[in-house]
Amino acid sequence: MTTTTAHKRLDEIETHLTPKEWAIRLADEMRKYPDALAHMKALVKLPLHELPVQRPYYAFEKQAAERHPGDNPDDIRARHRLTDALWGEFHTLKLLIRQVDQTMQRKVETISLQVALQLSALHALILKDALAQTDNGKTPLAEWSHEYTALLKDFYAHRAAVELIQGEQFDGHLILFLDLESELMEAARTIESAVGTANDYLNRRAACAGAGMNGGAAEKNLAIGLESIKAGANGQRAAAIAKKWQHDASREAVESDEEQWEQCREEFGARD
C-alpha cells in the first residue's frame, strides 16, 4: 500500500468517526505522553490542521457534505447545522476530559496534603496513647477516625466518578494523563497505609482491653472499614460528581460555542 493510498484510507475512516470516537482518540493521544506539558510540547510542532483538537472539524464537515450534498440554500443550511451539532458534541466531550483532569489534579493535591496532616496527627495520638475520654465523651482517636473516614469517602467517590465518566462517555477508555494517574495511585497507597496503621493500633488496644468489661469493643468500633468504603464509593455521591462534571462541561461548551465556532470558520473557512 502506497503512502498516498494509506492517507486516503485514513481520511475515509476519519470522515465517518462519531464525535465520541474522536474524543476517545483525543484521550488516547493525550495518554501517549507522560504529562500535560509533554503533550503540549508535541502539539506545538504540528500544523494547525493536524492538531487532534481541530482535525475533527474536517471530518464533520465531510460528513455533513455527504448527507446534504446539494447546493441550494436548504442544503447549505442543513450542512452547517449538522456540522455545528457534531462539532458541539465533540467540543463538549473535549471539555469534559479537561474538566475531569483538572478537578482530579486539584483533588489529588488537596488529598495528599490532608493525608499528610492526618498521618502526622495519627502518629502523635499513638505516641501519646490518646484513648482517654474527653469532656464530650469522644476520644481524640475517634475524632481522627471520623475525619479520616470522611476523607476516604471523598477520595474514592471522586475515583468512582472518573470511572463512571470513562464508562458512560468514553466506552471505558482512560482519560487521565499518565502522571495524574500515577499520583492517584500513590495517594491511594498512602491512604491505605494510614488505615492499616490505625487499624493495627486499634486491634492491639482491643486485645489489651479484651479482659475488661467491654472486651475492647470501643476500639473495634473505631476501626476503619476500608473495603466497605471502596465498595460503597460507586453510589449517589460519585454519580453526583460525574453529573456535575458533565453539566459544567456542557455549560462551558454553550458559553464558548459561538466564539469557538467563529474561530473555526475563520481558520478553516466555510467551503460553501
Q: Give the per-residue SS3 of the chain.
A: CCHHHHHHHHHHHHHCCCHHHHHHHHHHHHCCCCCHHHHHHHHCCCCHHHCCCCHHHHHHHHHHHHHCCCCCHHHHHHHHHHHHHHHHHHHHHHHHHHHHHHHHHHHHHHHHHHHHHHHHHHHHHHHHCCCCCCCCCCCHHHHHHHHHHHHHHHHHHHHHHHHHHHHHHCCCCCCCCHHHHHHHHHHHHHHHHHHHHHHHHHHHHHHHHHHCCCCCHHHHHHCCCHHHHHHCCCCHHHHHHHHHHHHHHHHHHHHHHHHHHHHHHHHHCCCC
> How many Cα atoms are found within 13 Å in the side-chain-facing hemisphere of 239?
4
CA distance 171 to 82: 23
For 117-164, the pLDDT digits (tens) are 988 888 888 877 644 544 444 577 788 888 999 999 999 999 999 999
pLDDT of residue 220: 60
pLDDT of residue 259: 59
For 242-264, the pLDDT digits (tens) are 999 999 999 998 877 655 555 65
CA distance 198 to 131: 13
Q: Which of 261, 223, 72 is nearest to 145 (CA)?
A: 223
Query: Which residues, 6 or more positions from 27, have their beta carbon under 8 angstroms from its beta carbon?
Result: 97, 170, 173, 174, 175
Report residue 203 as a C-alpha cell: 486491634
For 77-92, the pLDDT digits (tens) are 999 999 999 999 999 9
Mean predicted lDDT score pLDDT of the chain:
84
99-108, 125-134, 176-185, 230-239: which range is least confident on average?
A: 125-134
